[in-house]
Structure 1
Amino acid sequence: MVTTGDTAPDFTAPLANGDIEEFTLSERLEEAPIVLAFFPGAFTGVCTTEMCTFQDRLAAFNDLDATVYGVSRDSPFTLNEFREQNGLEFGLLSDYNREIIDDYDIPMDFADLGVYGVAKRSVFVVDADGEITYAWVSDDPGVEPDYDEVEAAVEDAA
């Protein structure tokens, strides 16, 4: 699992931002600090609450010149609908093929539901050099990140 001090694994993925664009992390480092907020699935209770909380706090992240992205296995089309229905103003990255989740080593299964390889709820802050300056990973999908801690980590990375 990647952790603080590691180089963030680079990736290219579809970005759902109202449209669908290609996103490559290494080409977006000028947007740093970058918050990558991984969540198991759109339109689920805790995930919706988490993404809406990031939206509610977006002004604070913008004030720190940080960029927030949500990341899940959902398709970019699903993520665009999720953005629209929840009024999310930040982009969501589709890891439909589970490459990012594997590279960050954060897969989780809900075997009793027949769902495999979704993202553990996790937050990584990436600085302009591509280094992970903050890493939080939960084994409990019902636990949200400490948003104040994430904001403090972004402030430290800015």
Structure 2
Amino acid sequence: MVSVGDEAPDFTAPLANGDVDEVTLSEAVDDGPVVLAFFPGAFTSVCSDEMETFDDKLEELADAGATLYGVSIDTPFAQNAFRDDAGLTFDLISDNDRDIIDAYDLSMDFAALGVHNLAKRSVFVVDDDGVVAYEWVSDDPGVEPDYDEVLEAARAA
């Protein structure tokens, strides 16, 4: 698993931003720290709560110089619908091929539901050198991150 002090695995992936573009992590960190908030799936209760709470913290993250991205396996089209439904104002990264989840070693299954290879709920702060400055990974998909801790890590990155 990717840990604090490791070089963050780079990626280029579809970006749901009201349209569909793409984002490359190594280019995104040129603008300052990047917060990657991995979540299992759009339109689910805990994921919606988490993304809405992050949206509420968006101004504070921006004041820290950080850019926030949500990351899930959902297609960018589903993510755009989720953004609209939840009123999110930040962009979501589609990892439909699960390449990012695999690179960060975050795969989990909801076997009872027949859903496999989703992202564990987790947060990484990547500094402008591309190094992981903060990591939080939960094995319990019902647990949300400590948002203030994430904000402090973004300020320190």
RMSD: 0.6
5+ residue gaps in structure 2? none
Aligned to 2:83: 83
CA distance in structure 2 between the aligned counterparts of 1:32 and 1:72, rounded to whole angstroms: 22
Give the superposition deviation at 1:74.
0.3
CA distance in structure 2 between the aligned counterparts of 1:113 and 1:145, rounded to whole angstroms: 24
Q: Which runs of 4+ in 1 moved over 4 A?
A: none
CA distance in structure 2 between the aligned counterparts of 1:107 and 1:153, rounded to whole angstroms: 24
What SS is found at the alignment partner of 2:9?
A: coil
Report the residue type matching 2:90 in the other structure.
Answer: F
Aligned to 2:69: 69
Aligned to 1:26: 26
Q: Deviations over 1:59-100 (max 9, x none)?
A: 100111110000000000000011111111110000000000
Aligned to 1:93: 93
Aligned to 2:12: 12
Is contact 2:65-2:155 (8 Å) kept? no
Give the superposition deviation at 1:31.
2.5
Instruction: Map 1:1-158 onto structure 2 (within 5 A).
Output: 1-157=1-157
Aligned residues: 157
CA distance in structure 2 between the aligned counterparts of 1:58 and 1:2, rounded to whole angstroms: 24
5+ residue gaps in structure 1? none
TM-score, normalised via structure 1 length: 0.98
Report the residue type matching 2:99 in the other structure.
Answer: E
Give the superposition deviation at 1:32.
2.1
What SS is found at the alignment partner of 1:130?
A: coil
Report the residue type matching 1:92 in the other structure.
Answer: L
CA distance in structure 2 between the aligned counterparts of 1:22 and 1:72, rounded to whole angstroms: 14
